[in-house]
Amino acid sequence: MQHYRGGDAGGCQRPESQEKEEKPSSVPCSVDPISTENDDQQQQDENLNNTEDHEEEKLVLYDDDDDDEEEEEEEYVPLACEFVGVKHSDGSIYRPNAHGYSKLYKLYDTRKTFLEPMRMTIPTDECYPIWTCCERHIGCRMMQIFSLKIAALSSSAAADNAPIQIYGFMAARDLYEPLRNYVFSYRRDNPYVLPGNGNYSDPDSVIIMSGPTRGISLECPASIEYDLKIKKGENAEDDLQLIDGVVEFSERTPFHGPYRKRIPGDHGAVDISVALLRNAKEATVQVLIPELAHGGIRLSLSCFLGDLPQEIKLFEGTIFEPWKLRRIVVAAVLGTNLILNYKIAPVVAADGGSSNCIHRRCVFLVEHHGGSYQWICHDFANICTRVNCSDVE
């Protein structure tokens, strides 16, 4: 039997001359070709009508829900490569045989990395021909984490529309020294409060990282270990597990520039944006504020790496007294610019308006060795920024 498109039944009828020739035939009706084709045509029409009704029903349901239409248009984010059966909640991550890569990354070892940044900032005798244009210390392949963002929350995690409080840790492990290199670490008694007034879909609701402690090598694959929870009550038993486990990133990624991966969890999901940077140096940013106006300042600090368009948020908070910011480590390609963006405002003026907020930019060239510094001088704050460049390996 042939199949026909559309709902035009006329295309399925035999020519009139052929029907007249077959009518006087003595063939029983049960095997009459005309009767058989009519039955087939009737069944085909019924199936076609059922299909059209089903499509119409789906279309109506789709049109009645605008939220579903918006969800269909959201950008697809692929899942990260997660180690199966490796969790902190059940203790499986601490077993050396929990996964084939458990011993490789020493997932059972909870110690913090012993290596400090700026290990090769000072030129050495191995620099050739001279340290300012050294051909031996030209960087390596490194991983740079650009952002962490809540991609989804369960109904119980976002039930009361209260500010989202996150605690736990996220740490990188590379094969140069596979111990925890923390990029995010907050205790339950001092959780990280997500910006955006509880609206995790707000573009500004990015989790500001507190690390890494040193550069992350990506000469070989590297892993990201995480155990993040959402604080929901007075007792830890009331808290919800956001994400828990380990994912791996390859040194042979086809992406050029930042790309996103999604880490799913029990009560939500987190999008991590990373990049593989070749011939990258470890750039350590140090910020010192020796003087500031009475009442303090509000400070926002972010950076851009060369021509890459994605911003890395480094710090956002209020400073009330002379202060030294923790060391911030980023990976930057040798010979490109590291651009630091400052937004500074006095606390008193910021409460009444943003007219006194100033924007300043410091640009540093990523070099083989050494470092440089720049000053930002204003009536309500003097800020010194220093950047030191070094190899990781």
Indicate the Cα dihedral angle 232, 236, 241, 247, nearest 10°.
130
Average pLDDT over residues 64-77: 58
CA 280 vs. chain centroid, Å, equals 21
Q: Tell me the C-alpha to C-alpha distance, in Å, between residue 53 and each of 42, 48, 56, 110, 237.
A: 16, 9, 5, 59, 50
CA 296 vs. chain centroid, Å, equals 33
Residues of the chain above pLDDT 90, percent? 59
Buried b / exposed e across 50-69, counting CB within 10 Å, b at 16+? eeeeeeeeeeeeeeeeeeee
Q: Is 8 a residue whose pLDDT tops 80?
A: no
pLDDT, position 11: 42
Q: Is 12 a residue whose pLDDT tops 70?
A: no
| Beta strands per DSSP E along 293-336 | 297-305, 312-319, 323-324, 328-333
Q: In this predicted model, what pLDDT tens digit does every residue of 167-206 receive, in sequence order?
A: 999 999 999 999 999 999 999 999 999 876 656 766 667 8
Type of residue at 251: E
Q: How far apart are CA 210 and CA 315, in angstroms?
A: 8
Closest CA to 181 of 113, 119, 244: 113
pLDDT, position 205: 78
Q: In this predicted model, what pLDDT tens digit does every residue of 311-359 receive, in sequence order?
A: 999 999 999 999 888 899 999 999 999 999 999 999 875 445 555 889 9
Q: Tell me the C-alpha to C-alpha distance, in Å, between residue 272 and each of 77, 105, 203, 346.
A: 10, 20, 14, 33
Return the DSSP state at 77: -
Q: How far apart are CA 356 and CA 367, in angstroms?
A: 35
Q: Is 7 a residue whose pLDDT tops 50?
A: no
Q: Is 74 a residue whose pLDDT tops 60?
A: yes
Residues of the chain above pLDDT 70, percent? 77
pLDDT, position 18: 43
Q: In this predicted model, what pLDDT tens digit does every residue of 87-142 receive, in sequence order?
A: 999 999 999 998 999 999 999 999 999 999 999 888 888 888 887 788 788 889 99
Type of residue at 363: V
Instruction: Give 220's pLDDT tier (boundaries 50, 70, 90).
Output: very high
